[in-house]
Amino acid sequence: MSRRRRVLVTGLGLATSLGLSVEGAWRRALAGQAGIKPLGRSPEERGPLPAAGTVSEEDWGTIVSAFPAEAGTEGERRTLFALWAASMGVGDARLTAADPRRCGVVFGAGLGIVRLEDEARWFGADGLSDARRFAAGLAEVRRESLARNPSDRAASLVAHKFGFSGVNATLTTACASATQAIGTAYRMIERGDADVMLAGGSDSMIHPVGLVYFVLLGAASTSSAPAATICRPFDRRRSGLVMGEGAGIVVLEAKEHAMARGALAYAEVAGYGSSLDGYQVTAPEPNGAGAACAMQAALRDASLTPAEIGYVNAHGTGTRLNDVAETRAIKSVFGAASAALAVSSSKPLTGHLLAGCGGPEFIFTVLSVQNDEVHPTINLTSPDPACDLDYVPEGARRRPVDAALSNSFGFGGQNACIAVRKLEPGRARHDH
C-alpha cells in the first residue's frame, strides 16, 4: 500500500426523532431532549412495545415533499431517510464538482421488512409454499417488502441520485453496520481507491414483525414508564433497548481533495477497528473482550494513546448485558485513563436505530470533537454499581475533546470503533 492519505469529514446529514437538521438535533441532544414517543394511542395500536424514537409525521412529510418521485416509487422508509441524509450531507459539504469515478457510497442497512400479509398469500391450503401463487402474486407485493426493496436499495439510489459511479457497497452486520460502513469508506480513501465517499447507515424496523423480534429475544423494553424515560443505559433500573429509526450519513474526503477545492472540515477520521466476539449470537462476551479488541485496533490505527481520548460515544443500549460488557471493555482498554474519560450514550435521545445507529452517533462524536462539548446520558438516575464510569448524567458538559471514539456493537458479536481527531487550527469549520 502506498502512503496513507488523511481523511476528513466535510459534510453531515441526518434524519432522526430529534429532527432533520444536524444543528437542531445537536442542540436537542445537548439539552437532553429525547425524541422517543409513545407508539399509537392505545395498547392495540402500540403492539408489543410502548414507545420508539420515530421520525415525526411532519418531518416525514418534509422528506416526501423533497423527493416526490422516489417517495412514489420506493415506499420503504429507510431508503427515503438515507436519501434525505445523503442530500443534506452533500449540500453541507458544498460538493459541486468531483470525478464521479472517484466517488462512492458505503451504507449500513438492515435486512428489510417482511410483511406477513404478503407471505400469507404464497401458501396453499396445505400450509406449504406454492411457487405458482408466488409468481402470480408478485406484482401485488407491497413496495416496502424485502422482495421488492432489498437492503442495498438505499446505497444504489443515493449513488444514482448524485452520479457517483465508484465503489458501492452495503453492509448488514446488525448494529455495527453503519460504523463498519464508515470505517470501510475511510479505508478506501486512505489507501487511494476513492477521493470522496458517502458513508453511514439507515434503518427502520418499527412495524409489528420488527418490534416483536426484539421482544422475543428479551432485548426490548416493555416498560410502562413515560416514553422519554424508558431507555436508561448504565442505570440499575434499565429494562432493555428502545427502537428508533432514521439515518446518519457523512461525507468523507481525502484531505488533499478537500484542500484543492477550498473545503473546510469538521474533524479527521484517524483510525478504525473491527472485531468479532466469537461468543454468542444474541449476547456480548461478558468481559467485553471483542469490544475491547475493536477499540484497541482503532487506537493503534490512529497512533493515539488512551490518555489522548477525551470522549467515548458508547453503544450504550440500556440492556442488562451490553452496558456491563461495554463498561468492562472500556476499563480494560483505558486502564487508569478511564477515570478522566467522559462516556455517554445517544440512544436515550434517538432510540436504537439498529443497523443505522452508528451514523447519527458518529456525527455526534464528530461534533463533540469539533466543539469540545459532550451530550449527556439522560435517564441515568440510579447508577448500576457494575457501570462505574463517568457517563455525564448531569447534563451537557464542556471539556477538551482532542480525540474521541465512537462504538457500535451488534448481534452476532460484531464490533466496530472509529477514532476521530480534532483538526489543526484554520482547517475546521464552525457552523454547527
Q: Which residues are catalytic?
A: 175, 315, 352
Name the 3-class secondary structure at 154.
Answer: helix
- For 114, other C-beta atoms within 10 Å of its C-beta total 14
Give the span between the Cα atoms of 60 and 45, in whole angstroms: 20
> How is residue 428 written as a grid cell?
475546521
Give the span between the Cα atoms of 252 and 93, in whole angstroms: 9
* Greatest CA separation for the chain: 71
Element at 215 (helix H, strand E)? helix 208-216
Nearest to 83 by CA among 53, 57, 105: 105
Nearest to 344 by CA among 331, 332, 327, 356: 327
Which residues have CB under 8 Å from 195's CB, separation 6+? 98, 99, 102, 103, 189, 253, 254, 257
Give the span between the Cα atoms of 248 and 199, in whole angstroms: 8
Nearest to 177 by CA among 275, 277, 245, 109: 109
C-alpha distances (whole Å) from 168 to each of 77, 85, 137 are: 20, 17, 31
Phi and psi dihedrals of 248, rounded to 5? -140, 120
Name the 3-class secondary structure at 148.
Answer: coil
SS (H, E, C) 293-333: HHHHHHHHHHCCCHHHCCEEEECCCCCHHHHHHHHHHHHHH
Name the 3-class secondary structure at 418.
Answer: strand
Name the 3-class secondary structure at 313.
Answer: strand
Give the span between the Cα atoms of 239 and 237, in whole angstroms: 6
